[in-house]
């Protein structure tokens, strides 16, 4: 699933972030706890350099708690990285972010000092709700649609922290096809930009392997089929998703599956593991190498054509 979704305000924001990044003391990156790898914007790593970063595993109440622990251990192997899982229903825990900021840059703590913290995250990971809770007032527009925040703003918090908010940014092209499907399944990409049946097929295949017991319980199946399309068909019949000719309305059942995944009605599910990240990073590196080789081959071919053209003109 190749996804390219980079509205103009996101491109502008990237340039602005690059410009003010040197002034920041700490970076707060908000991730979706269900997809910490796929919701991690590679540009954050490129832009932050060696600045300390707090990776917020937001929506942890929707994710598999054991997998969230595994992700925390995995992410904190990197120098300067601290993780903090946050539950949507426990707003009091949000203020632990302030404490972590002060621990990471203790030399900026004091009556006459100020910690500059930039908060970043891809669309629809709950960044704006987090900011409003930190500020104790409505300062960031929230919504279920991705890409609500359009411009940077500065918010003064307690404890001498100035928070720099940024628009939710996806990268220009999602190179990892698996990440594209996971972003779509969890709602980071506008529903108008996705094919529900493709996303549901990918989701069903993963859940059949990783969370069979939850599928059996939710969709009242004694035995699960082996194939994703068979699951969609059987679940659709059980849910009454039938159209004329006694055919299963697979689109309707696909919408049901995706919405129940997003709302954790099926159960607390994580859509990826640290091991999957390791494997897919290798795959992405190979794809990049192939793309670069093709690009160089095209450039070489152009040079040869130009050389032949010059020779013919003589």
pLDDT at position 285 is 87
Say whether 228 sits in a helix, a strand or coil. Answer: helix
Residue entry with tokens 């929230």: 142
Question: Which residue would you say has higher pLDDT here, 292 or 267?
Answer: 267
Q: What is the mean pLDDT of residues 181-204?
A: 88
Tokens, residue 261: 């995944």
| Through-space distance between the first and last CA atoms of the chain, rounded to whole angstroms | 49
Distance in angstroms (rounded) separating the CA atoms of residues 229 and 201: 6
Confidence band, pLDDT 50/70/90 cuts, at residue 311:
confident
How confident is the model over 127-149, as pLDDT tens digits? 888 888 888 887 766 554 444 44
pLDDT (0 to 100) of residue 147 = 44
State pLDDT tens for residues 72-111: 999 999 989 999 999 877 777 888 999 999 999 999 988 7
Domain boundaries, the chain: 10-165, 195-262
Q: What is d(CA 70, CA 95) in angstroms, rounded to the nearest whole number?
A: 23
Question: What's the mean pLDDT in 277-302?
Answer: 88
Categorize the per-residue pLDDT at 64 as very low, low, confident or very high, splitting at 50, 70 and 90: very high
As a whole number, mean pLDDT of residues 156-174 equals 77
Taking residues 214-236, report their average pLDDT.
96
Mean pLDDT for all residues in the chain: 86
Q: Look at residue 93 in the predicted model and tell me its pLDDT.
A: 81
* Structure confidence at residue 65 (pLDDT): 97
Nearest to 266 by CA among 231, 194, 216: 216
pLDDT at residue 309 greater than cutoff 70: yes
Residue with tokens 């199946």, as numbered in its chain:
221
Strands (E), 133-199: 153-157, 161-165
Whether the CB-CB separation of 164 and 143 falls below 8 Å is answered with: no
Q: Quickly state the pLDDT bin for 170 (edges 50, 70, 90).
A: low
Contact between residue 141 and residue 148 where contact means Cβ atoms under 8 Å apart:
yes
Mean pLDDT calculated for residue range 211-238: 96
Strand order in the sheet with 161-165: 81-85, 53-58, 26-32, 115-121, 161-165, 153-157
What pLDDT score was predicted for residue 211?
Answer: 98
| Residue closest to 30 by CA, chosen among 102, 112, 110, 85 | 85
The domain 195-262: what is its CATH number?
1.10.1580.10
- The first and second tokens of residue 262, run together, are 């997003």
Return the CATH architecture of domain 10-165: 3-Layer(aba) Sandwich (3.40)
Q: What is the pTM of this model?
A: 0.85
The C-alpha torsion from 187 through 90 and 116 to 75, rounded to 10°, is -60
- Find where tokens 């939850």 sit: 214
- pLDDT at res. 102: 92
For residue 172, what pLDDT is reported?
55
Our CA dihedral for 269, 69, 104, 51, rounded to 10 degrees, sits at -60
pLDDT for position 38: 92
Give the count of beta carbons closer than 10 Å to the beta carbon of residue 139: 16
Residue 87 vs residues 21, 119, 127, 258: alpha-carbon distances, Å: 28, 18, 13, 21
Query: CA 209: distance to chain centroid?
Result: 22
Count of other CB atoms within 10 angstroms of residue 56: 28
* Residues sharing a CB contact under 8 Å with residue 201, sequence separation 6 or more, in sequence order: 228, 229, 232, 254
pLDDT score, position 236: 96
């Amino acid at each position: 699933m190749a996804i390219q979704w980079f509205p103009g305000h996101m491109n502008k924001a990237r340039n602005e972030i690059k410009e003010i990044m040197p002034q920041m003391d700490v970076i707060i990156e908000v991730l979706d706890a269900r997809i910490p790898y796929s919701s991690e914007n590679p540009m954050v790593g490129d832009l932050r350099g060696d600045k300390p970063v707090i990776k917020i595993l937001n929506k942890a109440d929707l994710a598999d708690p054991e997998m969230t622990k595994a992700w925390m251990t995995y992410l904190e192997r990197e120098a300067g990285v601290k993780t903090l899982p946050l539950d949507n229903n426990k707003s009091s825990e949000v203020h632990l972010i302030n404490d972590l900021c002060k621990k990471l840059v203790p030399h900026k703590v004091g009556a006459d000092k100020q910690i500059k913290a930039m908060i970043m995250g891809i669309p629809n990971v709950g960044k704006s709700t987090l900011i409003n809770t930190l500020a104790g007032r409505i300062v960031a527009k929230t919504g279920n649609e991705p890409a609500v925040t359009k411009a940077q703003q500065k918010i003064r918090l307690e404890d001498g922290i100035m928070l720099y908010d940024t628009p939710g940014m996806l990268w220009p092209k999602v190179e990892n096809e698996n990440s594209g499907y996971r972003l779509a399944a969890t709602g980071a990409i506008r529903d108008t930009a996705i094919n529900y049946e493709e996303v549901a097929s990918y989701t069903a295949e993963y859940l059949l392997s990783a969370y069979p017991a939850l599928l059996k319980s939710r969709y009242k199946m004694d035995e699960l089929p082996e194939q994703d399309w068979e699951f969609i068909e059987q679940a659709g019949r059980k849910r009454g998703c039938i159209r004329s000719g006694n055919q299963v309305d697979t689109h309707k059942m696909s919408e049901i599956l995706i919405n129940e995944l997003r709302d954790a009605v099926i159960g607390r599910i994580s859509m990826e593991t640290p091991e999957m990240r390791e494997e897919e990073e290798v795959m992405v590196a190979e794809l990049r190498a192939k793309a670069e080789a093709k690009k160089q081959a095209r450039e070489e071919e152009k040079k040869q054509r130009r050389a032949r053209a010059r020779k013919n003109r003589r």
